[in-house]
Chains A and B, each alone.
Chain A
Amino acid sequence: MVKPIAADRGALEQKMRSASLVWSTTIETIKGDVAELAKAQGVDAIVVLAETKYDGWPAPGVSAVFRNLYTPLKFGVVYADVAAAIVTARGKIVAVAPHGIALDFQLVDVESYGIGLPLKDRLTPEVSGMLRDTAGDVLVKNAYVRLSQLGIPVDIPKKTEIVRKR
């Protein structure tokens, strides 16, 4: 039903990031380019999945956040905040699932991986690999969530247990 589309992702991302006024989603800013892409690829419409980023927030769409205040840090959270929209070959957005609500995330056991300060020294190949794989899994799950919100039927995978070093 849905086929992957080859696109100049760098150019589309850059155009989205340069948007000065965003109403419901940054995808709005590239709908003309996506419409051209749909025509060139011979599809009637394209589902665009775009990472959502916030000004002044150092952890953008796909991120890992470790936070502790008074107690020792036990868990970190891996996020993958994405928005989605269906853009037709005529350049019309016919469905939108914007940022925020209903997305999945993944808890990571910080103690077992020894994630502390300074971060750059603690992001060992093992920790980086785990975070990379976890971020990928959360992103795929959230892509399913967004598709479902757009009205495209998919089975959303069940939540995974805490990622812990074995």
Chain B
Amino acid sequence: MSKILILAVSLLLSACSMPLNQSSEQDFKSLGVVSLVSGNAAVARYGLTVFNNDFATLALDPDLNQTVEGEVAQASASRVRSGWSNRSPPTAVRSSRR
């Protein structure tokens, strides 16, 4: 019984977020970022019955992953943790979308 309880708690906790702890943080000083978002978004319309449902696909911005990476790099550049290197991103990709 206790084994089942431990397993259930483990499965429950596996979906919780786990932030970086200090001991892990000391293992690295430089970080990269990679964004893995597919090129399409789903568009769904739901009505009262299935006859009112409809689905379509929308092509996303082909540079979306680079945009996200550039934004993340810029957003974190001004908030450096002590001991981490501050590498500036190569290009500002977001500017083309706004």
Contacts and interface: CB of A to CB of B under 8 A. Distances in A.
Interface of A: 1-5, 7, 9, 12-13, 16, 23-24, 34, 37-38, 41-51, 58-70, 82, 86, 88-90, 94-101, 115-120, 123, 128, 131-133, 135-136, 139-140, 143-144, 147, 149-155
Interface of B: 14-21, 24-25, 27-38, 41-48, 52, 54-56, 58-61, 64-73, 75-77, 79-81, 84-90, 94, 97
Contact of A48 (B19, B29, B36, B77): B36
Contact of A63 (B29, B43, B80, B86): B43
Contacts, number: 250
B76 A4 contact: no
Given A9-B65, A155-B79, A132 B36 contact: no
A154 B14 contact: no
B75 A4 contact: no
A34 to B, nearest CB: 7
Closest 7 CB pairs of A and B: A44-B28, A151-B20, A4-B69, A151-B19, A94-B24, A5-B32, A153-B79
6 contacts: A2-B33, A2-B87, A12-B34, A43-B30, A45-B30, A51-B38
Contact of A144 (B54, B72, B97): B72
B33 A49 contact: yes
